[in-house]
Amino acid sequence: MRYIMVTLIALALVMNTSLVEAKEKKHDKALDPQAMMELWKKLAQPGAPHKAFAGLAGSWTTTTKEWMEPGKPPTEASGTAEMKMLLDGRFLYQEFKSQMMGQPFSGIGIDAYDNVRKKYVTAWMDTMGTGIFIMEGTASADGKTITLKGSHPEPGGGQMHHRAVWKLPDNNTQTFEMYGNHGHGKEEKMMEITYIRKP
C-alpha cells in the first residue's frame, strides 16, 4: 500500500510540474500534490463525449466507397465493424473488415476524447501498412460531427494530409468521410464509409 501511495504522489508531482510548465504564464503558484491528484482524478473520469462513444458499441454492416482517380466513379465494398468500449468507458475500440483496392482489408481503431486537451484523438492501424495513423480534432456544438486532421509520409517522399468528417446522426447510423491532398495540392474526397447497425 505504501508503495502505491509513493507512486501516486510521484505521479502527481510529475504531472504538477508538466502542467505548471505548460501554463507557466497563467499560474504563479503550483498546486500541492493532493490538489493535483484530485484534479487528475477528475479529468480521468469519462464525460459526455465518452457516453456518446458508448452508444456506438455493437455490430455494424459497412459500405465503403473509394475514389481512386479524380473524375471517375468510386469502387464499392461491403464489410463489417465491431465496436466496444475499453478501460471502463474511456475509449472506443473498433475492428473493421472489408476490402480495399480489391484486396481483403482489416483495421483496428481506438477513438478517444482527451479531457485535458479537450480534443478528440483517433489511432488507426490496418493491413495496408505497418504504421499507426493519428488524427485529432474537435466536434460540432451538438457533438454529432467530429472533424479530425492528420498526415503521414508517403512512399517515395512527401506527405499526405488528411481531413476526416465523422458524422453521428444517431446510434444506428454513422458516416466517415476522408479527404486528402499531397503537399499543397487540392483536397479531394478519397473515401466514404457508411455504417448501419445490425438488427
pLDDT in tens, 139-160: 999 999 999 999 988 787 788 8
- Using a cut of 0.95, tell me whether the model's pTM lies above it: no
Beta bridge partners of 143: none
pLDDT band for position 26 (cuts 50, 70, 90): low
All three cell numbers of 113, joined, read: 476524447
Average pLDDT over residues 114-141: 96
Residues 66 and 143 in one domain: yes
Average pLDDT over residues 123-127: 97
pLDDT at residue 4 in the model = 38
Identify the CATH number of the domain in which residue 99 sits.
2.40.128.20
Residues 28 and 88 in one domain: no
Residues 36 and 97 in one domain: no
- Cα–Cα distances in angstroms (integers) from residue 198 to residues 57, 109, 120, in the given order: 11, 19, 26
Report how far Cα 55 is from the mean position of its chain's Cα atoms.
16
Residues 151 and 81 in one domain: yes
Residues 74 and 31 in one domain: no
Full DSSP string of 102-167: TEEEEEEEEEEEETTTTEEEEEEEETT-SS-EEEEEEE-TTSSEEEEEEEEE-TTS-EEEEEEEEE
- Cα–Cα distances in angstroms (integers) from residue 149 to residues 5, 33, 112, in the given order: 39, 35, 14
pLDDT at residue 183 in the model = 63
Lookup result for grid cell 484534479: 39
Residues 37 and 84 in one domain: no
Of 51, 49, 76, residue with least CA distance to 142: 49
Judged on CB neighbours under 10 Å (0-12, 13-18, 19+), 166 is: buried
What would the pLDDT profile of 36-62 be if each residue is shown by its tens digit? 888 888 899 999 999 999 999 999 999
Residues 96 and 157 in one domain: yes
Secondary structure, 3-state, 169-191: EECCEEEEEEEEEECCCCCEEEE
Residues 114 and 131 in one domain: yes
pLDDT at residue 158 in the model = 80
pLDDT band for position 29 (cuts 50, 70, 90): low
Total of domains in the chain: 2
Check the CA dihedral 46-192-124-162 and report its sign: negative
Residues 115 and 160 in one domain: yes
Residue-number span of the structural domain to which 36 is assigned? 2-44
pLDDT at residue 54 in the model = 96
Would you say 66 and 47 are in contact if contact means Cβ atoms under 8 Å apart? no
Would you say 96 and 62 are in contact if contact means Cβ atoms under 8 Å apart? yes
Of 75, 62, 99, residue with least CA distance to 173: 62
Lookup result for grid cell 482524478: 41
Residues 110 and 132 in one domain: yes
Residues 40 and 57 in one domain: no
Residues 66 and 30 in one domain: no
